A and B are shown apart, each in its own frame.
Chain A
Amino acid sequence: GNSVTQMEGPVTLSEEAFLTINCTYTATGYPSLFWYVQYPGEGLQLLLKATKADDKGSNKGFEATYRKETTSFHLEKGSVQVSDSAVYFCALSTGSQGNLIFGKGTKLSVKP
């Protein structure tokens, strides 16, 4: 079946450090891929998405490239800020229904 695997957290970084959160997927067909973010006490917000191979999604300094050959969609940011502290979820969607299948989430803490 379809599934998403993302790196276990928590991840703790210092401000201005480089961030990578790994995400790989298993899916039939060609899914769309998403990163959602959940700030403390809030709901899920879409961070970025990519709908076909080699697409790069980007937003707020974050980016991720849809790699079909490695079935990956790793999230990166060149310089994290304290305000980026949150839980990040990788997700995929496939088929006509469009519902999302999520990874377990990676908690990021950024220290000043």
Chain B
Amino acid sequence: DSGVTQTPKHLITATGQRVTLRCSPRSGDLSVYWYQQSLDQGLQFLIQYYNGEERAKGNILERFSAQQFPDLHSELNLSSLELGDSALYFCASSVDPRDGGFRNTIYFGEGSWLTVV
């Protein structure tokens, strides 16, 4: 158990719909990351938040957005869903990424399986 909690574990929804994925980071971790894992694209970094503020952006579509709340939990919102958005979405967390943060271990949750039909 990494200490990172994601809900829901599985989600099936129709094209055009909107879903929200939720993540609670490990206790004490200020940084939250979102990744998408699909068969064709592999593991893609979407976005990172640190203590409520956006820190880095990766290959995140404009239809997707995220935020980190004052209690440090994070939500990933996916809208106007397409079949190609079906994937496993991981949340991860780490301690303060500043000052050598790239040496810190990033801990992953078990992921949220999204199926768009």
Contacts and interface: CB of A to CB of B under 8 A. Distances in A.
Interface in B1-51: 2, 31, 33, 35, 42-43, 45, 48
A97 B33 CA distance: 10
Contacts of B2: 43, 45
Interface size band for A: 20 to 34
Contacts of A112: none
B110 A98 contact: no
Interface residues on B, range: 20 to 34
A46 B31 CA distance: 17
B33 A99 contact: yes
Contacts of B48: 97-99
Top 5 A-B pairs ranked by shortest CB distance?
A43-B110, A98-B101, A98-B97, A44-B108, A97-B56
A99 B56 contact: yes
B56 A49 contact: no
A43 B45 CA distance: 15
Interface in A2-46: 31-32, 34, 36, 42-46
B37 to A, nearest CB: 9
Given A43-B2, A45-B2, A98 B111 contact: no
